[in-house]
């Protein structure tokens, strides 16, 4: 999930729904002290634990739908990579649309949005709706290979170059 983060130049990276921080550590290693990163976690307990475990990470306990205001208040600028662990297929149409609008509005013209889905639910109506939303918001959407060793098996979406409204 962290491959789109440039390893040789500073980047601005936002992580949505980091939870316990499993991906946060990978992002930290990939960035190697370069650039700027922000984690947005709605759960106050997870946010506090994440801030404690990753002292160099700016953690905000907030709803990701408020991403544009959160970034503006911190002078963050356009985001190069957004990595999301949010459960997109569990959200209704309105929540998916609001979150995606927030994400795409803060990304640079060449930004990359990365998230994952589960193979078992890939064909459910909410998951298909999310995939259509990705195609409507981004110039290119690539689905990575299925990681069968993950329980349940999962795959990664890479969405590049958000469409500008």
Q: How confident is the model at residue 121 (pLDDT cuts 50, 70, 90)?
A: confident
DSSP 80-117: EEEEE---GGGS-HHHHHHHHHHHHHHEEEEEEEEEEE
Q: To the nearest whole number, what is the mean pLDDT of the chain?
A: 94
Average pLDDT over residues 61-77: 97
What is the model's pTM? 0.94
Average pLDDT over residues 29-40: 94
Tell me how far apart the alpha carbons of residues 65 and 99 are, in angstroms, rounded to a whole number: 5
Q: Which fold has domain 12-162?
A: Rossmann fold (3.40.50)
pLDDT tens sequence across 48-59: 999 999 998 999
List C-alpha distances in Å: 117 to 43, 49, 83, 122.
21, 25, 13, 7
User: What pLDDT shows up at residue 151?
Assistant: 85
Domain parsing of the chain, residue ranges: 12-162
pLDDT tens sequence across 35-44: 999 999 999 9
Q: Does the structure show a pLDDT above 70 at 31?
A: yes
């Amino acid at each position: 999930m962290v491959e789109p983060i440039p390893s040789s130049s500073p980047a601005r990276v936002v992580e949505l729904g980091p939870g316990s921080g499993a991906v946060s550590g990978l992002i930290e290693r990939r960035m190697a002290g370069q650039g700027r990163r922000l984690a947005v976690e709605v759960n106050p307990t997870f946010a506090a634990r994440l801030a404690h475990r990753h002292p160099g990470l700016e953690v905000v306990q907030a709803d990701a739908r408020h991403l544009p205001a959160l970034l503006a208040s911190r002078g963050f600028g356009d985001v190069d990579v957004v990595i999301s662990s949010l459960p997109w297929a569990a959200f209704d149409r309105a929540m998916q649309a609001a979150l995606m609008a927030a994400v795409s509005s803060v990304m640079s013209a060449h930004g990359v949005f990365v998230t994952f889905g589960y193979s078992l639910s890939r064909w459910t109506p909410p998951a298909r709706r999310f995939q259509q939303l990705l195609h409507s918001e981004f110039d290119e959407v690539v689905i990575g290979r299925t990681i069968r060793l993950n329980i349940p098996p999962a795959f990664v979406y890479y969405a590049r170059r958000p469409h500008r409204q």
